[in-house]
Amino acid sequence: MTATRYDALILVDPRFMGGTATAVDSDVRTLAAAGLTIGLHFVEGRGFFLPEETPNPKLEALFDLDGVTRISAGETARARIAFFHHPQPFQVGVENPITVEAGNSVIVCHQAPFKGDGALDYDPFAIQCRIREQFGVSPLWAPISGICRAQFRSFAPFLRLASQDWPNTFHIEDWAPKREKLTGPDLTVGRHGRPHADKWGDTGADIAASLPAGPHIRIRTMGTDAIFFQEMGVDVSAWDVLPFNAEPVVDFLDSLDVFSYFHSSRWTETFGRTVAEAMLLGVRCILDPGLKATFGEHALYCAPSQVAGMLDSIRADLPGAREAAERARAWCIETYATQSVPARLEAFVSDPGTTSRRGPVTASPLTAARKWTGYHRRRRHQEKAS
C-alpha cells in the first residue's frame, strides 16, 4: 500500500493505439510538465481487446517522466482526482483492480454511447456499477465533445455528468507545419486511420469517392494496409498506401494539402482527433457532415460522392483555401492547447456534476430506455450463439 497522495490518478488500458492513447499521453505529459504528481495504473480490461493486442509503447514511455508513478494491482491509490479513460474496458471488469481513494473521479468518455445507426454501444449503468464494485468510487461522466454530451443527456437524471467537457488537447509546438500547402493545382489528398470497417466508408465506392485519385490529385493513406482496401473493392494502384506508423503522424499530415475523412454510418466519431491534428498543420479538411457539431465553420462538409467537386472548388480559389486553413489552425490552437489542462483539472476536483437535461439531447428517456433494452437483448443473443 502506498501512502502517496497524487494530484491525479490515471487509469487506462494500455492496449489503446489511436486517439484515446494519444489523448492520455498528452494529458499525462502536460500535468507532469506542470509539476503535478501522477499515479498511472494500466488496467487489463476483459473482453474488449483481442488476445494478440499488446501495450502501446507510447503509453509505456510515460513511466519515464518525472512525477509519474506506476500503480500495481492490489494497491490503494490516493489522489485529488481519478480519471478512468474510455468506458468500455471497464464494462465487464478488469483483471487487476486497485482501491481508489479520491476527492473526485470521472470517466473520460472517448467514445459516445450511441453508434451511428442509433444502437447503444455500451451500457453506462453497468460500467458505473462495475467501477464502484472494483475500485470503490462512483465517478462522474466526462464527455470529450458536445456530440458526446448530448448523447449522455439522454440518460439524465440517472447519470451525473461533469459540468464541463474533458476534450482532447495538443502540444501545439509538436504540430507546427513545415511546408506551405495549397500552392498549386496539384493537390495531395489523404487521411490516416486503422483498418477497421467502422473507420472507413460503408462501401468500396464510398471510400474511392472520398479519395478520388486522378489528374492533379495524389492520394496518400497511412495505417491501413492495401489488402483492406482491395477486399472492399477499392483500386489503390495509384495511391501511396503506408502501413501503421510508417511515418510520424505529424510528417504524414504535413505532406497533405487536403484531409478527407469519412467513416461508416454505423460509427459515431465522438471527437475527431485526427481532424484537429490535420487542422493544426494547416491542412484543409473535407469531412463527414456528422463532424460539423465539433468543427463548425472550420471545415467543408459533403457526401463522399461530392469530394471531387469540393477539390475542384478548392483548386479554383487556392488563396481562399489557404486563409480558411489558417483560420482553422488558429481556432484549434485557441480551443485545444494543452495550457488549459491544469486549470481544468482544478475545476474538476471540486465539480459536483449535473443531472440536467438542458441543452441538446440525442434521445428522449423512452427512446434511451428502448436502446438500453435492445443492447442487452443483442448481448444475450451473442452469448447464446457463442
The string of pLDDT tens digits covering residues 76-132 is: 999 999 999 999 999 999 999 999 999 999 999 999 999 988 999 999 999 999 999
Rounded distance between C-alpha atoms, residue 371 and residue 243, angstroms: 37
CB 60 within 8 A of CB 150: no
Residue 80 backbone phi and psi in degrees, to 5: -65, -35
CB 29 within 8 A of CB 62: yes
Query: What angle separates helix 19-33 from helix 273-280, to the nearest 10 degrees?
Result: 60
- pLDDT score of 3: 64
Cα torsion 323, 329, 333, 335 to 10°: value is 90
- pLDDT score of 85: 98
Out of 20-29, 176-185, 374-383, which region has the weakest mean confidence (pLDDT)? Answer: 374-383
- pLDDT score of 196: 87
Domains of the chain: residue spans and CATH: 5-169+341-385 (no CATH), 172-336 (3.40.50.2000)
pLDDT at 2 over 80: no
DSSP assignment, residue 294? H
pLDDT tens across 324-333, in order?
999 999 999 9
Q: How far is CA 45 from the centre of its chain?
A: 18
Identify which has the larger pLDDT, 4 or 338: 338
| Average pLDDT over every residue of 35-52 | 95
Quote the percentage of the chain above a pLDDT of 70: 99
What is the band of 165 on the pLDDT scale with cuts at 50, 70, 90? Answer: very high
Q: In what helix (H) or strand (E) does residue 300 lie, and over which residues does it extend?
A: strand 300-301
pTM score, two decimals? 0.84
- pLDDT score of 318: 98
CA distances from 261 to 92, 239, 252 (A): 32, 16, 15
CB 54 within 8 A of CB 78: no
pLDDT at 386 over 80: no
Cell 510515460 -> residue: 62
